[in-house]
Structure 1
Amino acid sequence: MASINKSFVKCRHHLVEFLSDVARMVTPSCSAKGFEILRDGKTNEFGSNNDELVYERRPSVLVLTNNNLRLPPLVSSSSSSSEIKGTIVLDLDETLIHSILGPPPPRYDFMVSRDIDGTTVNFYVLKRPGVDEFLEMISKKYEVVVFTAGHVAYASKVLDILDPKGLISHRFYRDSCKQVRGKFIKDLSGMGRDMRKIVIVDDNPNSFTLQPENGIPIKPFLGDEPWDNELMKLAGFFERCDVFSDMRDAVKKYLELILR
């Protein structure tokens, strides 16, 4: 009996480890609320701060940072800020796609597999309606970046299939997020882009809490909305918003319209 109990405990331990590894692959559910952003010093037009940002929630929270976010310089035909190409940063899970573990659902677009400790795990991916057209349209006028809190081993495979034409210029994964109490926050300030020319789209507004004026929250796509048109609405917005010298002004007007 003691031997059976010992084997059971060992098996349960391995199962917990396995499920934890699987959970770390995809974008976690970020629900951190109540953070107050305290800035010491002035922020310049490119979003960098002369002093360290301090994020406080009673009690104070330690923020861990990674320094691998900087994008290569944009090529522009003019030094005028109004003519600099804008950058659109997109979340992956529940923004562009919905992904679930097996068994296979009744409807999905493609599958990616990952080997974890000798066990093959299948993720079944459903593309958000209009995602192909959306990427095609915005990539003609903007630099397109995907910034996901998903693990690179999972998300890179999804993006390879989702974007066969290479419309997405750059990819950032979980290791490029900042961590606040175990939650993953996407900081745009280290990308080397003019903050007047960058917008992030994410189903979780907490992920862009450092630059809320640059963020557009999108309705989460959970795979059960075949008539979802959120990406097409965004495509129309991005088609027009480049006339603004500061895209944050365009974001503000867009949000005012959709929240009426």
Structure 2
Amino acid sequence: MGELFECVLFTASLAKYADPVSDLLDKWGTFRSRLFRESCVFHKGSYVKDLSFLGRDLNKVIIIDNSPASYVFQPDNAVPVASWFDDMSDTELLDLIPFFEKLSKVDDIYDVLRQQRTLS
């Protein structure tokens, strides 16, 4: 996906934990930036990833997350996914590749995301 998008890791985890894990997972340097809990907004008991903090045109920004509380400020930008624990046969992100490829070709992600929600 790094060839199609500017990928940013945005996690509610603390940097001291998430940075070393990210180093292990992102061997190819796909993530152009990493944002941690310090970049989140504490709102109603949850750490929210405010996408406006990215300084990007939000009609070109998606958030892939398993927690609706994480994207409560911009729910229309969300691609919800199930939580992953240890199912090595899980292919959810791989299954989403054609959808992400479609998103990479549009100027405004909102129409495509709305269509996807009506199909789900």
TM range (shorter): over 0.9
- 4+ runs deviating over 3 angstroms: none
Listed one character per residue, the Cα deviations across residues 133-160 of structure 1 (whole Å, up to 9, x for unaligned) are xxxxx10111000100101111000001
Aligned to 2:113: 251
CA distance in 2, matches of 1:256, 1:242: 20
Deviation at 1:193, TM superposition (A): 0.4
Give me the CA root mean square deviation: 1.1
Is 1:203–2:66 an aligned residue pair? yes
Is 1:239–2:98 an aligned residue pair? no
Query: What one-letter code is carried by the residue in structure 2 that aligns with 1:204?
Result: S
Q: Is the 8 A contact 2:59 2:110 kept in 1?
A: yes
Is 1:213–2:76 an aligned residue pair? yes
Q: Is the 8 A contact 2:46 2:69 kept in 1?
A: no
CA distance in 1, matches of 2:93, 2:3: 16
CA distance in 2, matches of 1:233, 1:253: 17
SS at match of 1:157: helix
Q: Pick which of 229-238 and 191-200 moved more.
A: 229-238
CA distance in 2, matches of 1:181, 1:199: 23
SS at match of 2:63: strand
Deviation at 1:244, TM superposition (A): 2.3
CA distance in 2, matches of 1:208, 1:215: 7
Is 1:178–2:33 an aligned residue pair? no
Which structure shows the bigger proportion of residues in helix conformation? 2
The normalised TM-score by structure 1 is 0.45
Percent of paired sites with the same residue: 36
Q: Is the 8 A contact 2:5 2:104 kept in 1?
A: no
SS at match of 1:142: coil
Listed one character per residue, the Cα deviations across residues 39-86 of structure 1 (whole Å, up to 9, x for unaligned) are xxxxxxxxxxxxxxxxxxxxxxxxxxxxxxxxxxxxxxxxxxxxxxxx
From 189, 194, 204, give the equivalent of 2:57.
Answer: 194
Aligned to 1:71: none
Listed one character per residue, the Cα deviations across residues 195-237 of structure 1 (whole Å, up to 9, x for unaligned) are 11000000001110100100111011011x2221110122111
Query: What one-letter code is carried by the residue in structure 1 that aligns with 2:97?
Result: A
Q: If you compute each CA radius of gyration, which structure gives the higher value, 1 or 2? A: 1
CA distance in 2, matches of 1:180, 1:230: 29
Is 1:229–2:75 an aligned residue pair? no
Gaps of 5+ in 2: none
CA distance in 2, matches of 1:233, 1:248: 20
Aligned to 1:168: 31
For this pair of structures, how many residues does the alignment match? 120
CA distance in 2, matches of 1:173, 1:190: 12
Q: Is the 8 A contact 1:199 1:248 kept in 2?
A: no
Which structure shows the bigger proportion of residues in strand conformation? 1
The normalised TM-score by structure 2 is 0.94
